[in-house]
Amino acid sequence: MKIFIVEDDRTLNEIITKNLQSVGYDVLSFIDGQEAFNNINEYIDVYLVDINIPNVNGLELIKSIKLINKEAKIFIISGDTNIDTILKAYNLGCDDYIKKPFDIREIVAKINHVVLKSSQRIQISKNCYYDFSKKLIKYEDIEIQLTNKEALLFAALINNIGNTVSNEELEYSIWGDLVGNGYTRQLVYKLKKTLPCDIIKNHAANGYRIDKYDNS
């Protein structure tokens, strides 16, 4: 999976780049619009584009990206909240508009979600896959159906693959509210017993995560 970043704030650019690389994505990053324009190609899967960048602005880049690579997903990352600018970005073909400042986990989660939606299944460990169309785990030739609550928990984790999801975020994803009383912990324990592979990691009191599988 190749990701193309255009962000003229060097520090922010480096933070985004390192976070995406840490979960296994191949990243190309640029701080200048013209340089980015010269490197647009049909082999990029996701573009992260700031609007107010030097030489060639983000809206012009979207036009060029869509001419060269119609299937690419484009995320605008910008502090510009002018509704006309936002509407123009969507009309040109951007898939999502992420307002600055943002939590870096939001970008990682949204890219993961786009990548997962475009795949029928994802490998989560050796001989173990999650099938998105059927919403089940497949281990070798065995299909493992999850309960509704288990499926909601697993979806919250797999859509944020490589990142820790807090207990509060999981509770909202599963029950739509903060329920407490150890329900999330009990459900995680039950799901871990259901899964044929040990992929759910407990991060102390912070929450849980599933790491991206490295089959290299």
Alpha helices in 69-128 (DSSP H): 83-92, 104-117
From residue 211, alpha-carbon distances to 22, 157, 162, 199 in Å are 10, 9, 4, 7
Q: Of the ranges 16-20, 99-103, 109-113, 162-166, which one carries the lowest mean pLDDT score?
A: 109-113
Mean pLDDT for 27-35 is 94
Query: 121-210: what fold?
Result: Arc Repressor Mutant, subunit A (1.10.10)
Whether domain 2-117 has CATH 3.40.50.2300 = yes
pLDDT at 123: 80
Mean pLDDT, range 56-69, rounded to an integer? 91
pLDDT(61) > 90: yes
* Per-position DSSP letters for 164-177, written without gaps between them: PEEHHHHHHHHHSS
Domain boundaries, the chain: 2-117, 121-210
Residue scoring higher pLDDT (113 or 119): 113
Average pLDDT estimate for 142-153: 87
Position 215 pLDDT exceeds 90: no
DSSP class of 202: E
Question: What is the token pair recorded at 110?
Answer: 């949204």
pTM of full prediction above 0.75: no
The pLDDT > 70 percentage for the chain reads 94
Is residue 168's pLDDT more than 70?
A: yes
- What band does 133 get if pLDDT is binned at 50, 70 and 90? low
Q: Tokens 């991060």 sit at which residue?
A: 203
How far is Cα 61 from Cα 116, in angstroms, rounded to an integer? Answer: 25
Q: Higher model confidence: residue 178 or residue 216?
A: 178
What pLDDT shows up at residue 146? Answer: 86
Q: Which two tokens stand for residue 134?
A: 């059927």
pLDDT confidence band for 10 (50 / 70 / 90):
very high
